[in-house]
């Protein structure tokens, strides 16, 4: 079963082809990061325009790299939610066109389900149920993965997502967008105990997160030091921030696993590339005798393979769409219509 997966929810135009879900035959990602960098973040209108320009070439390359033609493909999967609406619509319209022209099934995929699926690409014998921490630029969730296509979100951020916190703090330190990876790099040269940063108390579910207080603390620390003429050591601050974030997400994930009886724990999303988050989670899982799964670094950021993989599982469950498929900017994993 060959599924072509299309991802265009943010600033990456990406297409990949999966065979029986977890084997990736080709994966092409055209990133717009360089262009958005000058604005300090993604400009939605520019993102949509670049998707329009790139999507055909990226799709042709994915087919060529796999030595396949459209005739060989069994289904067209596409991200339909959540994301920038204009950007989503480019991928959806293109996918509909392909599906209708070739008379192949159209398969809708939720972006976060796609991130979770990167664990199946890396470890094909991982099977639900398990608990997954999803940490990306727009989302911070603790998710019960009940089956390949059913999810229960038990923890979510009350304000900023983890990636947003990394990126905004990075910006205050003078790192360019997206700064998460630069904080990770600077952390390796810094002392994680140099700055004491706050861990927020969150009202509501014990599994919920809050990162805006931590972000404000980092920004205030830099401003206060500037006003007093004190140099801030950005390597030390990066290391302290990364350690604090890693501890928060690890502690909540382990607490949820223990309370709910999960012994298999995974992580997914752009921030799952962070070395601190990976190390802290791995160690805590080892200490508790939990199995720990993380995606290969190349699958952490947005890509087409995650959509091609999850598209396969959706198709196996009979989840398809017709030409009325629309993009949805905000849609929780729990509110999937299937
Ligand atoms: O999943 P993703 O590619 O896009 C969304 O769906 O949001 O995540 C992008 C986020 C950005 O905030 C980026 O700074 C962050 O992932 N990120 C990292 C690292 N690599 C990417 N954050 C911390 N450390 C990293 N190594
Ligand atoms: Zn993403």
Kindly report, residue by residue over 68-81, the tens digit of the pLDDT: 999 999 999 999 99
Mean confidence (pLDDT) of the chain? 96
pLDDT at 236 over 90: yes
pLDDT at 114 over 90: yes
- Own/partner pairs, 218-221, CB within 8 angstroms, 24+ separation: 218/169, 218/172, 219/168, 219/169, 219/172, 221/195
Measured in Å, residue 72 CA sits from the centre of ligand 2 at: 28
Q: Which residues contact 315 (CB under 8 A, 6 or more apart)?
A: 1, 3, 74, 75, 77, 105, 107
d(CA 12, CA 117): 18
pLDDT at 338 over 70: no
The percent of residues above 70 in pLDDT, for the chain, comes to 99
Q: What is the structure's pLDDT at 40?
A: 86
Supply the pTM of this predicted model. Answer: 0.97
Site to probe by mutation for ligand 1, drawn from 271, 273, 276, 278 as the one with most ligand atoms within 8 Å of Cβ, is 271
pLDDT at 337 over 70: no
d(CA 122, CA 116): 11
pLDDT at 155 over 70: yes
Site to probe by mutation for ligand 1, drawn from 136, 268, 331 as the one with most ligand atoms within 8 Å of Cβ, is 136
Q: Stretch 127-139: mean pLDDT, rounded? A: 96
Q: Stretch 290-310: mean pLDDT, rounded? A: 98
Q: What is the structure's pLDDT at 201?
A: 85
**Nearest CA-CA partner of 79 in 144, 162, 15, 149:** 15
In ligand 1, the atom with minimum distance to the C-alpha of 139 is 7
What CA dihedral angle connects 77, 316, 105 and 81, to 10 degrees? -40
Q: Stretch 129-151: mean pLDDT, rounded? A: 97
Burial of residue 101 (CB within 10 Å: 0-12, 13-18, 19+) is: exposed
pLDDT at 256 over 90: yes
Residues with CB under 6 A from ligand 1: 10, 136-138, 163, 166-167, 178-181, 184, 269-271, 273-274, 301-302
pLDDT class of 313 with cuts at 50, 70, 90: very high
Q: What is the structure's pLDDT at 177?
A: 86
The model's pLDDT over 76-102, given as tens digits with 9 standing for 90+, comes to 999 999 999 999 999 999 999 999 999
In ligand 1, the atom with minimum distance to the C-alpha of 275 is 26
3-state secondary structure of 338: coil
Site to probe by mutation for ligand 1, drawn from 116, 161, 166 as the one with most ligand atoms within 8 Å of Cβ, is 166
DSSP 175: P
In ligand 1, the atom with minimum distance to the C-alpha of 138 is 7
């Amino acid at each position: 079963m060959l599924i072509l997966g299309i991802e265009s929810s943010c600033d990456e135009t990406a297409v990949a082809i999966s065979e029986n879900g977890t084997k990736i035959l080709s994966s092409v990602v055209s990133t717009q990061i360089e262009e958005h960098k000058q604005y300090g973040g993604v400009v939605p209108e520019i993102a949509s325009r670049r998707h329009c320009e790139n999507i055909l070439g990226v799709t042709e390359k994915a087919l060529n790299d796999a030595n396949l033609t459209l005739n060989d493909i069994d289904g067209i999967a596409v991200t339909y939610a959540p994301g920038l609406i204009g950007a989503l619509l480019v991928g959806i319209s293109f996918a509909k066109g392909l599906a209708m022209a070739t008379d192949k099934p159209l398969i809708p995929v939720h972006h976060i389900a796609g991130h979770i699926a990167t664990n199946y690409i890396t470890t094909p014998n991982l099977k639900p149920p398990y608990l997954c921490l999803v940490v990306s630029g727009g989302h911070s969730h603790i998710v019960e993965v009940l089956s390949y296509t059913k999810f229960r979100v038990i923890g979510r951020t009350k304000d900023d997502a983890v990636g947003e916190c990394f990126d905004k703090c990075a910006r205050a330190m003078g790192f360019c967008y997206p700064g998460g990876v630069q904080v990770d790099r600077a952390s390796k040269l810094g002392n994680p105990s140099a700055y004491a940063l706050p861990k927020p108390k969150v009202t509501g579910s014990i599994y919920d997160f809050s990162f805006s207080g931590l972000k404000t603390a980092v920004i205030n620390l830099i401003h206060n030091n500037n006003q007093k003429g004190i140099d801030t050591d950005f390597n030390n601050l990066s290391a302290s921030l990364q350690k604090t974030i890693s501890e928060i997400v690890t502690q909540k994930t382990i607490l949820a696993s223990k309370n709910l009886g999960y012994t298999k724990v995974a992580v997914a999303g752009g921030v799952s590339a962070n070395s601190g988050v990976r190390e802290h989670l791995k160690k805590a899982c080892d200490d508790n005798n939990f199995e720990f799964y993380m995606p290969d670094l190349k699958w952490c950021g947005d890509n087409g393979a995650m959509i091609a993989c999850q598209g396969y599982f959706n198709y196996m469950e009979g989840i398809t769409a017709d030409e009325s498929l629309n993009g949805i900017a905000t849609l929780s994993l729990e509110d999937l219509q299937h």
